[in-house]
Structure 1
Amino acid sequence: MKNIIKTTFVNSHNKLRNGWWIAIFIVFVAMTRPIYKPLKLLLDDFGIHANILELLSAALILFVTYLCVRLRKETMGSVGLDIDSNWMQQFGLGLGAGLIMVFGLAATVWLGGGVNFEYNFKLDVSFLLLSFYLFAIGAFFEELLHRGFLFQRLIGGIGFWPAQLMIASLFAVGHLSNPGMEGVSQIIGAVNLFVSSLVFGLAYYKTRSLALPIGLHLGWNWSMGSLLGINVSGHENAGVLISQISDMPSWFTGGEFGLEGSVLAIGVECVALFLLWHWTGTHCSSNASDKIVLKAA
């Protein structure tokens, strides 16, 4: 009986099982939710600028991650936040790849008559910098939540692809209430979000770093919203260009949800997934169990 109780909590290496670490992480995240609004109001009363307050959600999830990492007697590098020159290179690679993916997608829809663009003379460089900052916060928050400690403990517990499918499902479901998520766009948009989560997850797995997925996420959202002026996951954005979606079928244009609601976006994400799968990556783990998880999952 004693052995059964012990093995319920610890593994063969006498370490707390991944499932319990996941539970601890979820409890910590749940504890931050009731304090978010009061803390934000308090900081606002102290005169903290609204743009700085946008950091609060990301700061809280970062703090929870830090607590869990320290409890495991590890560093933040263990979750892919060992920020150095290599990290920044991977971030830049992801940022560039995200830009290329979006411009390729938008160009295809434009050539097919699904969207028209005109220059927005009202915007300046300061807008681009601010929007980059805001989209960067969103990308950091979502990737740390979905590809950080929780995802990594899932990989350790159930294997890479089962963890991928679980997180991708949660990622897609979490966006179902977004504006423009209706009819055909809801189905296509959900599938696209599911596949994009697989891309971000594989980007982490190939590098053991959050730099590449954060860069990809930011490059995709910022270029689509702030450069092309297209709705990002249903949310309207001012951009360097003003986009006008045609009355062609929404399965082609994405409709009010934006290009992420187009079947072409799924194609772009699948190409990215294929290329990532065949990419050797920048991290070669000497841990045999890592290779077994990817092969067997």
Structure 2
Amino acid sequence: MFLPLLLIALAGYFFIQLALFKHLLRTRRGRRPSIRKRLFGWLLQFATGVGMGFGIILLALLVPLLAGQYRVAFLTMPGGSLGISQAAPSPSLSATNALAILAVQSLAEEAYYRGVWMLGIVLLLGFLSRAVLGKQAFFTVPFQLILWGNAIVLSAALFAFQHAGNPNVSPLALTNIFLAGALFGLLLAATRSLALIWGLHFAWNSLLVLLGLPVSGYRIALHQHLINLTARSSGITTGGAFGPEASIPLTVVLIIVIAAVARMLPTRTKDFLTQVKMPPAANPPAEADSTETSAEK
């Protein structure tokens, strides 16, 4: 019963997310003159990120679920056997409190790793390279891709390094965390939206907690889980005690999503460069035309 419902939900879910993501890209190209429209844009970006986060985790869990690698229980209470996949739980929380904590935690991490480190690297390397290469070379798509690419890789490496001390960490877990950091960075480069990657990170962690699974080696126990997944094995299909973030299915999903986002990055970079260059270039010709017209009169 659970798996057919999951498959139906996934199918409808991804059609909705595709429509949201296309609308997001269109709205990012235009200017939003009012605060109301900007707020709507931020909420839309956050919602799109939430959808992407849920989708990535659901896809990563789909194959192990179909293969019978998880035991599914409903309306479970904390206590009892934790199962192979679950690390020692924290004191149980209500779902509301847990989600509030995860919202703050995910925002803090994205503001630090992507907002401070990644954008800081872009600004530093951009300032140094522009001084050396000049403005003409700086405002080109190839150079911007190299600039942002370096910042993405360095910030993702730092993101993975900071998780190296987590309980039950493994090389595969660190690889997936690096890939997740790279995906977050690519999305920031493609959309310039911190709200989107905040929503993605928040949904990623929240869904794992709501399903009773560890998040990067840590488990947050809730007063009650509507659906509780317990791994039947500690292999790389489920991630063991570290959680699905140490699983091969997540690796595959992340690589596919990264490839899809990376393909649209050159076009998005060109769009942003056009937005930067167009306003200064658009006004002088108009002024010149008006001057010539008045001179003719």
User: TM-score of the superposition, structure 1-length normalised?
Assistant: 0.62
Identify which of 104, 108, 116 aligns with 1:141.
108
Kindly tell me: are residues 202 and 232 of structure 1, through their superposed partners in 2, closer, same or farther at Cα, counting changes over 3 Å? same
1:208, 1:283 within 8 Å by CA — same for their partners in 2?
no
In the other structure, the counterpart of 1:150 is 117
Separation in 1 of the partners of 2:193 and 2:38? Answer: 9
Instruction: Confirm or deny that 1:246 pairs with 2:232.
Output: yes
Amino acid at match of 1:250: G
Instruction: Report the identity percentage.
Output: 27
Structure 1 position 217, deviation (Å):
0.4
**CA distance in structure 2 between the aligned counterparts of 1:195 and 1:234, rounded to whole angstroms:** 17
Q: Deviations over 1:9-60 (max 9, x none)?
A: xxxxxxxxxxxxxxxxxxxxxxxxxxxxxxxxxxxxxxxxxxxxxxxxxxxx
- The corresponding residue for 1:67 is none
- Alpha-carbon distance, 1:222 to partner: 0.3
Aligned partner (choices 163, 166, 172) of residue 188 of structure 1? 172
Return the alpha-carbon distance in structure 2 between the equivalents of residues 129 and 284 of structure 1. 40
Distance 1:179 1:120 in 2: 27
Over residues 173-193 of structure 1, what are the superposed CA-to-partner deviations in whole Å (9 max), with x where a residue is unaligned? 111111111xxxx11000000
Q: Aligned pair 1:93/2:60, yes or no?
A: no
Which one-letter code corresponds to 1:215 in the other structure? Answer: G
1:230 corresponds, among 199, 204, 213, to 213
Match of 2:152 in 1: 164
Q: Could you tell me whether the CA contact under 8 Å between 2:61 and 2:249 is conserved in 1?
A: no
How far 1:145 moved relative to its partner?
A: 0.2
Q: Which amino acid letter does the alignment assign opposite residue 287 of structure 1?
A: V
Work out the CA distance in 1 between the residues paired with 2:57 and 2:95: 17
Deviation of the 1:131 alpha carbon:
1.8
CA distance in 1, matches of 2:173, 2:207: 18
**Separation in structure 2 between the aligned mates of residue 222 and residue 283 of structure 1, nearest angstrom:** 34
How far apart are the structure 2 equivalents of 1:86 and 1:265? 29
Quote the Cα distance in structure 2 between the aligned partners of 1:281 and 1:99. Answer: 24
Q: Distance in 2 between matches of 1:237 and 1:160?
A: 35
1:197 alignment partner AA: G
Secondary structure (helix, strand or coil) at the match of 1:251 reads coil
Match for 1:105: what amino acid? A
1:264 to 249, 256, 279: 249
CA distance in 2 between counterparts of 1:91 and 1:284 reads 21
Q: Which residue of 2 aligns with 1:275?
A: 260
Deviation at 1:275, TM superposition (A): 2.2
Q: Please give the secondary structure, in 2, of the residue aligned with 1:104.
A: helix
Q: Distance in 2 between matches of 1:119 and 1:283?
A: 49
Contact preservation (8 Å) 2:217, 2:243: yes
Inter-partner Cα distance in structure 1 for 2:248 and 2:112: 27
Question: What is the CA–CA distance in structure 2 between the aligned matches of 1:115 and 1:176, rounded to whole Å?
Answer: 26
Match of 1:199 in 2: 183
Do structure 1's residue 216 and structure 2's residue 200 form an aligned pair?
Answer: yes
SS at match of 2:229: strand
Q: Distance in 2 between matches of 1:281 and 1:109?
A: 35
Contact 2:117 2:155 in 1 (8 A): no
> Which consecutive residues of structure 1, in runs of 5 or more, have no partner in the other structure?
1-81, 289-297
Q: What SS does the aligned partner of 1:230 have?
A: coil
Which structure has the larger Rg over C-alpha atoms?
2
Deviation of 1:92 (Å):
0.3
1:20-99 counterparts in 2 under 5 A? 84-99=39-54
Equivalent residue, structure 2, for 1:127: 94
Looking at structure 1, the residues matched to 270 and 77 of structure 2 have their Cα atoms a distance apart, in angstroms, of: 44
2:76–2:228 CA contact under 8 A, matched in 1: no
Aligned mate of 1:287, from 276, 289, 294: 276
Q: Do the aligned partners of 2:118 and 2:154 also contact (CA within 8 Å) in 1?
A: no
SS of 1:240 mapped into structure 2: strand
Is 1:114 the counterpart of 2:114? The answer is no
Amino acid aligned to 1:273: I
Deviation at 1:122, TM superposition (A): 4.1
Amino acid at match of 2:226: V
Please report the TM-score for the alignment, with normalisation by the length of structure 2. 0.62
What is the CA-CA distance between 1:281 and the residue it aligns to? 5.7
Higher RCO by CA contacts (8 Å cutoff, separation 6 or greater): 2
Shift in CA distance, 120/237, structure 1 to aligned 2, threshold 3 Å: farther
Contact 1:91 1:211 in 2 (8 A): yes
